[in-house]
Amino acid sequence: MPTGFTPKKINFIVLCAMYAVLFVLALHRSPDPAIWHWSHLYFFFILYYFLFLALLTVLYILSDKISRGYALFLIVLYFLTVLLGDFMIGTINYSAHEKEMDHPIFHHQLKPGTYHLAIDDDGMLDQKYIMHVNAQGLRSNKDIPYEKPAGHVRILSLGDSFTEGQGVGDEENFCYLVERQLNKESGSPVYEVLNAGVDSYAPILENLYLRTKGINFQPDLVVVFYDMSDLIQTQEYFDGAEFNKDGEVISVPPNDDSLLSNMEVFLKSRFYFLSLVYGAARERVLPDEDPDAISQATEKLLKFSLSSDQSPWKDEWERVFHDIDLMNEFCKQKGIGFAVVIYPWGHQVSGREWDSGRQWFGVPDNYTAPRGVEDMFVYEMERRGIPVLNLFPAFRDHQGGERLYFHEDMHWRKEGHSLAAQYIMEFFMNLSKPERAP
């Protein structure tokens, strides 16, 4: 060791360097929205680091009075305290936000009777929102009996997180808005628009849900809200499906995870900050060669939407249309009306909508996807005689000042739900209404 560089001086230099890092972190700015925001996550990271520096400073000042072993004990105790606090925060956060559970037939569902969930989506949304899941597993703050009241008209809405209403409160969701307007037009509360939307659902799961549970609500009309993520996710579910002797899907059971996978799930669900650090590290060290399109942002999920030529995805489209055909035939057999609504993601509306989040899906900045998907889909529905509402033109032609989509999260803001509700209500009104008992 060079003359004059005692252990205490070295410790002092290291401590000064660590304080310099604190100032760099506090003043640093980056376009990366996932980390370098002055969010609660960033604030607590700085706070934990500052408290650690404070501990090291005290140990440095008292280095002549305490042993190295005791100093090491205090450092380990500090990290264990932080870990315990992180576990408490993660557990509370998980309990307050967890809205889904596995299902043996249709893969997963909303947790029945899960009321007053406070969802903030890790800062991706503009603000927290409150959602309720009733005892029947529908998004609603009131229980809805399976037995339909006499004289009521029930519309069962099937879809994914757009239908579920990720990002908005219960009374801002388009299902609620449409129900309210339909009852206003009729002059009495006879319409029920049941919101059976579940995050990451696709027609393959919606068909299973309709046959095994949705039919119990005795709907007069079943409406499938088709989402842009459904094409690739359908194939993901199909790969894990179980089939009958005729080759038809009879269930899509949840993944049979290994012990290592279950431990990873426990880490992610019970630790808040540690899980984020782990996820970032794992992504850099062991990136997924074939990322899961059901629960992760992956470029293959929306690649088809960037092309006007859909022939490369012919097989995937045939799988989707097959599931829609199955639902249509099932409804015909039961004397139930059936219809489909197709809507765009932000990159199919304009370069302005969903401007930040699109980068995670490989969508270019300031880019508007070409027509092609919507025209082909509408043609296929009309060819089958299935009533279809195309919301693409309504969203593209919207002239309001407020954005329809969130900046980072891909879903509709309340303005998007309000716009969609106007056209969906008119669509429902124009459909042949079932006769109601006097």
Q: pLDDT tens-digit profile of 251-295?
A: 999 876 666 666 776 777 777 778 777 766 776 666 655 566 666
**Is the pLDDT confidence value at 123 over 50?**
no
> Which of 66-70, 330-334, 361-365, 429-433 shows the lowest per-residue confidence on average (mean pLDDT)?
429-433
**E strand map for 201-291:** 221-226, 242-243, 249-251
pTM value is: 0.78
What CATH number belongs to 115-261+288-430? 3.40.50.1110
Annotated domain spans of the chain:
7-97, 115-261+288-430
Residue 430 pLDDT? 86
pLDDT of 208 over the 60 cut: yes
Residue 394, token pair as written in the block: 């309504």
CB 378 within 8 A of CB 392: no
Per-residue pLDDT, averaged over 55-59, amounts to: 89
Choose from 64-73, 344-353, 356-365 the range with maximum mean pLDDT: 344-353
Please state the φ and ψ torsions of residue 172, each to the nearest 5 degrees: -105, -10
Helix axes of 68-97 and 259-270: crossing angle, nearest 10 degrees: 90
4-15: pLDDT as tens digits: 667 778 888 888
pLDDT one-digit tens code per residue, 216-240: 999 999 999 999 999 999 999 999 9
pLDDT value, residue 347:
97
CB-neighbour burial class of residue 347 (10 A; exposed 0-12, middle 13-18, buried 19+): buried
Q: For residue 419, count other CB atoms closer than 10 A to its CB.
A: 20
pLDDT band at residue 125 using 50, 70 and 90 as cut-offs = low
